Amino acid sequence: MQFAPLYPILYKILKPTFPDCLWSGAKNSRAIALTFDDGPHPQYTPELLQVLDQYRIKASFFWLGICVTRTPTVAREVYARGHWIGLHGYDHQSFPLLKPDALKQSLEKSQLAIAKACQLDAETLRDVRPPNGLFTPQTLSLLHQWGYRPVMWSVVPEDWVRPGVSVVVRRVLQQVENGSLIVLHDGYYGGQDIVQTTAQLIPELLARGYHFVTINELWQRSPTPRN
Count of the separate structural domains present in the chain: 1
Question: What global pTM score does this model have?
Answer: 0.96
Counting Cβ atoms within 10 Å, is residue 4 exposed (0-12), middle (13-18) or buried (19+)? middle
Please give the share of the chain, as a percent, with pLDDT higher than 70.
96
Question: Is 210 domain-assigned?
Answer: yes
pLDDT of residue 1: 47
Question: Is 87 domain-assigned?
Answer: yes
Question: Is 146 domain-assigned?
Answer: yes
Question: Is 159 domain-assigned?
Answer: yes
Residue 185: active-site member: yes
pLDDT of residue 112: 98
Catalytic one of 88, 185, 186, 193? 185
Question: Is 227 domain-assigned?
Answer: no
pLDDT digits (tens, 9 = 90+) for 108-152: 999 999 999 999 999 999 999 999 999 999 999 999 999 999 999
- What mean pLDDT is predicted for residues 186-196? 96
What band does 224 get if pLDDT is binned at 50, 70 and 90? low
* CATH number of the domain enclosing 96: 3.20.20.370
Q: State which residues form the domain around 20.
A: 4-221
Question: Is 226 domain-assigned?
Answer: no
Question: Is 107 domain-assigned?
Answer: yes
Residue 144: active-site member: no
